[in-house]
Amino acid sequence: MLGMIFLFCGMGLVSIAKAQNFQKVPIVLQALDVLPKELVSGPNYTLKKEVRNDGFVNTYELDTVYGPLKVESTALLLKRVAEFRALSKIEELKRTSVYLEAAKKAALGPVKTATGVVTDPVGTATGVVSGIGNFFTKAYDATVSSDPNKDKALNAVLGQAAYKREFAYQFGVDPYTSYEPLQKALNDVAWTSAAGGLTLKAAFMAIPGVGGAVVGYSGTAETMRGLVRDKTPPELERINRTSLHDMKVPDSLASAFLSNNAYSPREKTFLVGALASMTGVKDRAIFIHSAATGHEEPVAMFMRVRAEMMSQYFKKTKDVDRFVSVDGVPFLLTKEGAIVGIFPLDHVAWTERFAQKVMALSDAINKKMQDVKGKELWVTGTVDPVVHEALQSKGWKVEDKVAIRLLKS
């Protein structure tokens, strides 16, 4: 479903494409072969054994106690797994005496406003996504809609919004998640805390074990997590707009990105924070332009993780001069003149769509970047041996399974 063939630029693979048989998609993989065993199931969800890959990313199907769910990409799956774990802890909290007592007090309060506080900005999570790859092949869509994630005034007065952000912070999840079951659960516990006198200390003493290892590709600085906890969406927008201005992103482009509701306030803050940490790197607006054109949650997650991986590459190598656009796809250009593509891909296969995009990117790099000194491709997942050989034969250094190297300190 996703022709992410965006990534591979700069190799004339026409002859290779003719010599090789393309792999047909979907490619059927086994969940236990592509994920750690501990992620395959939990108290409230189970992944189906078969995983479908379109040559770039995996699509997972899950049976959950909240209903069936389809998730595109491992990056988004890891976010959902963290949310399932948070839901399990919230349900545990709701069975404790301290919560039940606070819930009684909350029921005596004025008007419960928790329901519907945050609307779903990107559609239900159970819908069929259109594909990350489609994002890279369609024209810029400047659709802008109002942000539904504003903290409502009454809830802010009651303290519900702040409680919700704190609970989400402690659980390691997005307070503005599009996943309806978690959204409702966070609203419930936040309301009970605000109106029923349930303190955070009492809540987390009642359910030990909150926190622990982060689930996901997490290169996010703790300062960014703290911002999302401590600031309202309007405050985050002002902070992000200032950061984008400091990065010389044009105001109109900043507005297009900040009004894109495929990104929650948290995802926007993480993405902008990652780019802002790349001090001195030129043309970061190229990445924002690409990010602003994606209007689906899997794409938003993909771009946020890309930004964090690029930030970590910069942090570890100190060798990034600027962002460059190759056929509309953002890459890094090092101070030594090498072009580096970094992508959260699950499995890259030799497909016809891949070969076609490779040729388009190759043409673009040959026309605009004749002085490139080297080419590197970094992916979080695996690269099929045929693809590996084809890229190396054209001068590419291919690095796979790079998530731990880039996103773990």
Per-residue pLDDT tens over the stretch 9-40: 333 444 554 445 899 999 999 999 999 999 99
The per-residue pLDDT for 137 is 38
**DSSP letters spanning 173-219:** S-TT-S-HHHHHHHHHHHHHHHHH---HHHHHHHSTT-S-SPPS---
The CB density around residue 130, as the number of other CB atoms within 10 Å, is 16
Mean pLDDT over 209-221 rounds to 59
Cα–Cα distances (Å) from 408 to 79, 119, 202, 221, in that order, read: 17, 33, 32, 11
Q: What is the pLDDT of residues 57-83, one digit of tens each?
A: 999 999 999 999 999 999 999 999 999
Q: What is the pLDDT of residues 260-274, one digit of tens each?
A: 999 999 999 999 999
Structure tokens at 149: 């994630």
The whole-angstrom separation of Cα 36 and Cα 136 is 29
Mean pLDDT over 302-318 rounds to 95
The per-residue pLDDT for 113 is 47
The per-residue pLDDT for 390 is 81
H or E element in which residue 81 lies: helix 74-94
| % of residues, the chain, pLDDT over 70 | 79
Whether pLDDT at 326 is above 80: yes
Structure tokens at 32: 């236990």
Question: Quick check: 247 and 278 in contact, CB under 8 A?
Answer: no
The whole-angstrom separation of Cα 59 and Cα 255 is 31
163-172, 326-335, 390-399: least confident range: 390-399
Whether pLDDT at 353 is above 90: no
Question: Quick check: 384 and 355 in contact, CB under 8 A?
Answer: no
The per-residue pLDDT for 157 is 52
What is the maximum span of the chain, computed from C-alpha positions, in angstroms?
74
Spatial CA neighbour of 214 closest among 79, 347, 323: 79
Output Rg (C-alpha) for the chain, integer angstroms.
22
The per-residue pLDDT for 17 is 46
Question: Quick check: 313 and 342 in contact, CB under 8 A?
Answer: yes
Q: Is 42 exposed, middle or buried (0-12, 13-18, 19+ CB in 10 A)?
A: middle
For residue 335, what are the contacts with CB-CB under 8 A and spacing of at least 6?
319, 320, 321
Whether pLDDT at 86 is above 80: yes
Task: Specify the pTM.
Answer: 0.85
For residue 386, what are the contacts with CB-CB under 8 A and spacing of at least 6?
20, 23, 350
Q: What is the pLDDT of residues 124-181, one digit of tens each?
A: 333 333 366 455 434 333 333 455 565 555 555 568 999 999 999 999 999 999 999 9
The per-residue pLDDT for 155 is 55
Mean of all residue pLDDT scores within the chain: 84
